[in-house]
Structure 1
């Protein structure tokens, strides 16, 4: 059913969907900062805290590598739900939700059964002291018990976005993040005469937070969506989860899993390559990636709005509103890119000094700040296209574009390595700034490949989803 919105009303819808996501995103780095600060105030047998910070960093990296590969539970659920919402089909919305929860539960059980080999496999890519590795495995072994809640929350968040309800998604994120901070502080250092459990409390606080968020999300569904989810009766579940009914859902999520694996490959490649540059340039590469993530917290909000609205209007077979949505979401996203360029130009050096007080790292980092001025336009475009394609459930194109991006990233890096002859850790450590410039150029190439591929496929893979075109 078509619902023609005025330009002003459409922009209000975009902001209604994007602003809550942006606000929730801004709390994410705060959680990491608090966890790091808590670890920094613990004292090991040698009198220092560096091993605790290292243990959290490595343990969190292992979990992030694991979770990134299953992010399709959120992205796959959102687009399908948005299209069902646009078709005004509550039963289909409920079917998608329960299939997502069933798949998340199955994946969680497999991960819990295989947690030890997964941890050992992850440690193969880590070069750290035995004490840091020991703490990382302790952190991993506690936090892994949050996996059922974490994966289920991916489904809830995607479903809320598809239902055009970013407020519920935002409040779920805030419950998780605020609980994480409070629980980690109390469990680590204690209160009211109880001394806490130290390092393990940081990990356990995250577990508590994930289940608190899941509880809140369930309560939201009971309060707001009982009539929608109630369209699936108990006797319907067997038919709902039959293989033939799950196959379209699994096929789409298979493509999104491939996309996630490519994404993980790029970021693992970036980290592993940078680790051979020496301590100063490794620190610079890490800070540059953190600085580049700042604008993504804002752009992701508009990508979510693009996902929700494009899916909704494709479901309603409304090509006029679909085209308008794409146009206006890009206007907002590119505005973020322009503001980011200005912000980096003015605050790049102060931000660098905020991340580190090491004079050598600050001096080296200054030479890489110009990259912050060229990344935002391509980054904003790539992230925005991701949202629109997710709304269109064009998962194959997302997978192929990310595969092309990964190929471009590694071709750029290894091409330079072959031409320059700077192979091996010793050669890279002695190559100076050029190696990090090339690595950042490879990251730029990956963003360009994603943007170009998705731009070229827009008519074929997004507009073609609307079968009735207006004049």
Structure 2
């Protein structure tokens, strides 16, 4: 992407990501509605618990998306076409390899995950079928992380949109088929998602082949370039920090789910419904955060401190405005969506009472999501790692302090966690700006 940084060009890059990202929470909404309209609160809560477990395990390797975006963008900014292609192959090899390892280790990982979470016999029974089915898609899921990150790093957001839409539409269709037609319950939701991930891998490889010439890329890259020591050292160093950062944030959301589970099936199910609101806002606002990743990575690769500052300002304007807009929409029109997602009266009433907490998250969370994008694009893994650890520790302490307040305390702690993340990352921003300015000034 070499066009001038303007609001028009930022939005042109962001809108395909936003459109594609809306289909991600749409899958969660459909899954929630498919299970919720069975009227079985235990099944709905079981999907929530199972989703938390899968997110904890799979998104531990989210660096395959985030690290790929920043490093690919920097290679693109430096006009290093061979390194751009090498990044794709490294990411695919790492994703498939780690996915196969997860599949082989599930016999130990699944029991451990359920031992750590407070579910209970009924919830565990519903969640175990979902989790086991999702592990069938582990290699494809992690490989698709890498393809997505590579496309976003290049600024090929329309290609990423096609990949996202294909995967999520297949997911929705199969989930409806398996649950409503075949009566497979939570296991059907997991199986539909796994099948969609394998479909997405095939489509993703075809899309990536358009930009690399398909298998011809293997002939252009010697083993020495593909697995060069310096490149691999940097890959693992950046990804290790991002992995720790991701684990810290996953533990935060796992703690939140577990806090709801402690308070019973109805609370956990209501929290699952409300988290769909948070997911919609987060995934759509990620359009601007992902754009920041690409633009800032390319600015650093080309050595332009001015382009980086402009990218931060323009993506920040869009992100903050969208966060406030989502908060107002959820506040004003959230209740009908709650009723749409579940027919259980107790779950509806609990979710409606807690709606103001979920509604305010987009406005408070926007700075944290944007700063994530800035530091991912800059491949400042250490700052991401340290900020996430600090924010998670502060969140856990807040939740423990607010436990006497029950579910209100659970949600207040979650809302404050976004503020902690923004403050912690914001403290590293001046240093990032100085380092890029100094690099430009160096002879």
CA contact (8 A) 1:187 1:198 kept: yes
Matched, 1:117 2:108: yes
Partner residue, 1:30: 26
SS in 2 for 1:88: coil
Unaligned runs of 5+ in 1: 43-47, 191-195, 423-433
Equivalent residue for 1:91, pick from 82, 86, 90 = 82
1:6-45 equivalences in 2 (<5 Å)? 10-36=6-32, 38-39=34-35
Taking a change above 3 Å as real, the CA distance of residues 125 and 215 of structure 1, as seen in their structure-2 partners, is same
CA contact (8 A) 1:306 1:388 kept: yes
SS in 2 for 1:124: helix
Matched, 1:402 2:388: yes
Equivalent residue for 1:451, pick from 416, 422, 434 = 422
CA contact (8 A) 1:409 1:443 kept: yes
Partner residue, 1:152: 143
Matched, 1:310 2:301: no
Query: Looking at both structures, which has the greater relative contact order when contacts are Cα pairs under 8 Å and sequence separation is at least 6?
Result: 2
Partner residue, 1:224: 211
Taking a change above 3 Å as real, the CA distance of residues 159 and 335 of structure 1, as seen in their structure-2 partners, is same
1:423-438 equivalences in 2 (<5 Å)? 434-438=405-409
Q: Give the drift of 1:219.
A: 0.8
Which has more radius of gyration? 1
The count of corresponding residues between Structure 1 and Structure 2 is 440
Superposition CA RMSD, Å: 2.9
Taking a change above 3 Å as real, the CA distance of residues 203 and 87 of structure 1, as seen in their structure-2 partners, is same
Alpha-carbon deviations, 1:218-253, whole Å to 9, x = none?
1112223328x8565377225532555411100110
1:30-429 equivalences in 2 (<5 Å)? 30-36=26-32, 38-39=34-35, 53=44, 55-128=46-119, 130=121, 132-186=123-177, 198-199=184-185, 201-226=188-213, 230=216, 233=219, 236-237=222-223, 240-241=226-227, 244-278=230-264, 281-357=267-343, 362-372=348-358, 374-416=360-402, 422=404
Larger helix fraction of residues: 2
CA contact (8 A) 2:42 2:265 kept: no
Alpha-carbon distance in structure 1 between the residues aligned to 2:420 and 2:408: 18
CA contact (8 A) 1:184 1:201 kept: yes
Partner residue, 1:425: none
CA contact (8 A) 1:392 1:465 kept: no
TM-score, with length taken from structure 1: 0.84
Mean alpha-carbon deviation: is it higher for 65-74 or for 344-353?
344-353
Mean alpha-carbon deviation: is it higher for 268-277 or for 391-400?
268-277
Taking a change above 3 Å as real, the CA distance of residues 81 and 239 of structure 1, as seen in their structure-2 partners, is closer
Q: Give the drift of 1:320.
A: 1.6
TM-score, with length taken from structure 2: 0.89
Partner residue, 1:45: none
Unaligned runs of 5+ in 2: none
Taking a change above 3 Å as real, the CA distance of residues 235 and 268 of structure 1, as seen in their structure-2 partners, is closer
Equivalent residue for 1:460, pick from 428, 431, 437 = 431
Q: Give the drift of 1:360.
A: 5.0
Alpha-carbon deviations, 1:202-222, whole Å to 9, x = none?
433322211111111111122
Taking a change above 3 Å as real, the CA distance of residues 185 and 275 of structure 1, as seen in their structure-2 partners, is closer
